Amino acid sequence: MIQTILDALSYGGLYGLAALGIGLVFGVMRLVNFAHGELIAIGAYLFIVTIDLGLPLSILIAVTGTAILALLMEFSVFKRLRLAGPAVLLIASFGVSVFLQRFYEIIFGALPLSGQIAPWMTGVIEFGDTTITRGSIVTIVLALILLGGMWFFIEKTTLGLQIRAASSDFQTARLLGVRSNRVIGAAFVFSGVLAAAVAFVLVTQRGSVDPLFGVNITILALVGTVIGGLGSLQGAALGGFAVGATISLLNSFLGNYRVYTYTWLFILVIIVLLVRPGGLISNKAVKERV
């Protein structure tokens, strides 16, 4: 039972990080960034190809590399589409996503690339009759540190205040003189950092990475962002947590019927959206970009 709860918290934290990364960019740009999965994938690739340099250096390279790729996406594609509508941005993000998948195929190959990132995370800790996986504890701690750090950054810093304002009403924030490019760039960088954290946990669990590595969690994190409340950063983290924890609990409780996990998940998602169409934490001020 304790392991079930820890797994739910761990999955919830992981999906919360992924959803917050997506929510940050959506907040300031109204961009549903499907290419977030490819940020997670590059993080995982960088972990695997640099792990021989030692974990601390590997983390530094993966986090920096993922943040740089996020910023490159913004500068090379999305910055040029500032005046485009949400549909155009969505299609552009699909394009970036597919382009990067093919690019990874060319660079790293279509087959999974294997490697052991932190083998100590796969072990268990025993408390009497109860065994707890180290991975669950590390993931929960990592999620708490990053979500806490992001909370501090967003709530207590000037740049965070500008991101919150831009998430609430981007047009008015710009009209007040808030430097929109700086705010959007910061959102992409932090989105990249969160993607690298998600990549670390996932690649440690799976031990391999392929070009489609980040697609599944990105789709589910997007679901979390929507049920949390589009445009609300707290909503994104909460929605992502809810989706991850629900998947974990359904997997546990359905046992041999876990093939129906996603069926039940999406039934619950539809119910939540029927009851609260604006999401768990609705941002009533969500407006179109300028």
Partner 1 sequence: MTQMLEAASIVKSFGAIHVLEDVTVSVNKGEVVGLLGPNGAGKTTLVNIIAGYETQDSGTVAIDGRNLDGMTPEARTHAGLARTFQSGRLFPDLTVTENIVLGAIGSGCSTKKANGRAAAAIEMLGLSGVQTESAAGLSHGLSRLVGLARAVTSEPDYLIMDEPAAGLNDHETPALLAALDSIRRESGCGMLLIEHNVGLVAAACSRVFVLASGELLFEGNPQDALVDEGVLSAYLGDATMGLHGGRA
> What is the binding site for partner 1 (CB under 8 A)?
158, 161-162, 164-165, 167-169, 172-178, 180, 232, 283-285
Nearer to partner 1, 78 or 170 (CB): 170
CB of 92 to partner 1, least distance (A): 23
CB of 176 to partner 1, least distance (A): 4
CB of 13 to partner 1, least distance (A): 24
Helix (H), strand (E) at residue 227: helix 215-228
Rounded to whole angstroms, how far apart are CA atoms 42 and 235? 26
Rounded to whole angstroms, how far apart are CA atoms 227 and 82? 26
CB of 172 to partner 1, least distance (A): 5
Phi/psi region, residue 179 (left: phi>0; alpha: psi -120 to 50; beta: rest), is beta
CB of 25 to partner 1, least distance (A): 18
CA–CA distance from 238 to each of 119, 229, 232 (Å)?
A: 30, 9, 10
Rounded to whole angstroms, how far apart are CA atoms 237 and 260? 25
- Helix (H) and strand (E) counts for the chain? 11, 4
Nearer to partner 1, 82 or 276 (CB): 82
CB of 278 to partner 1, least distance (A): 13
Sequence-distant (≥ 6) Cβ neighbours of residue 267 within 8 angstroms = none
3-state secondary structure of 84: coil
Nearer to partner 1, 93 or 232 (CB): 232
Nearer to partner 1, 162 or 218 (CB): 162
Nearer to partner 1, 133 or 162 (CB): 162
Nearer to partner 1, 133 or 168 (CB): 168
Q: What's the one-letter identity of residue 274?
A: L
Asked whether the beta carbons of 122 and 132 are under 8 A apart, the reply is no
